């Protein structure tokens, strides 16, 4: 069964370069982002992991933990972090899962169930292991993104999406295209006009099905 939005993240016990953890315990009451890549010591992913390291204060501000995933081993991760820190100028303090048996890649549906990696593999052999998962404190997957090898991920967009998810989490609102923090939000269709005004105050009715309001405090 493919992993879908609102599915509970599999509660796997994983080995990382910072020790063994169980995913649900590691998340705790926080938000979490898991981001994967095809192989250590590859150019695009070195820049991406550097971007994640540079955003450490932003993740912390949002109560969010980050964890990398790779099908390489612990020692490779530790060595690779030296390159990440050298090129980014930031400390890569987040853990990276050593998914050598591909248990995590399969559980998160990043590879076909019968996939295997050949000896002497290259990044191309595990190219599909390149995804982003944002997980809420209830341990349910809220967002998934998958990228090809040739396109570096935009972590400003990951941050923006995280802001939108946190703003709308368990609140009857949605965010419009290109929304950023501070802009108006959309009132959920589950509320009629009277309920919307009672809950949010002033509501702008653009169309019967498109009503906006100030972002709740």
Catalytic sites, residue numbers: 45
For every residue of 36-74, which 3-state class applies, written as one string? ECCCCCCHHHHHHHHHHHHCHHHHHHCCEEEEEEECCCH
Q: Are strands 96-98 and 64-70 parallel, antiparallel or unpaired?
A: parallel
Q: Is 91 helix (H, G, I), strand (E, B) or coil?
A: coil
Token pair of 133, please? 């998962």
- Check if the beta carbon of residue 134 is closer than 8 Å to that of residue 161: yes
> Would you state the torsion angle of the CA atoms of residues 48, 4, 96, 66, taken in this order, to the nearest 10 degrees?
70
């Amino acid at each position: 069964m493919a992993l879908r939005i609102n599915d509970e993240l599999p509660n796997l016990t994983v080995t990382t370069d910072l020790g063994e953890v169980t995913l649900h315990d590691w998340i705790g009451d926080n938000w979490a982002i898991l981001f994967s890549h095809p192989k250590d010591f590859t150019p695009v992913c070195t820049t991406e992991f550097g971007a994640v390291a540079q955003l450490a204060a932003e993740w912390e501000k949002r109560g969010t933990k980050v964890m990398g995933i790779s099908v390489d081993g612990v020692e490779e991760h530790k060595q690779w972090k030296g390159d990440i820190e050298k090129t980014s100028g930031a400390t890569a303090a987040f853990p990276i899962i050593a998914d050598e048996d591909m248990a995590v890649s399969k559980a998160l549906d990043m590879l076909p169930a019968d996939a295997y990696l050949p000896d002497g593999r290259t990044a191309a052999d595990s190219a599909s292991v390149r995804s982003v998962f944002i997980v809420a404190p209830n341990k349910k997957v809220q967002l998934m993104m998958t990228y090809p090898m040739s396109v570096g991920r935009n972590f400003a967009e990951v941050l923006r999406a995280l802001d939108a998810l946190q703003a709308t989490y368990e609140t009857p609102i949605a965010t419009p295209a290109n929304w950023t923090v501070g802009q108006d939000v959309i009132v959920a269709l589950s509320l009629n006009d009277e309920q919307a005004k009672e809950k949010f105050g002033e509501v702008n009715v653009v169309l019967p099905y498109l009503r906006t309001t100030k972002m709740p405090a």
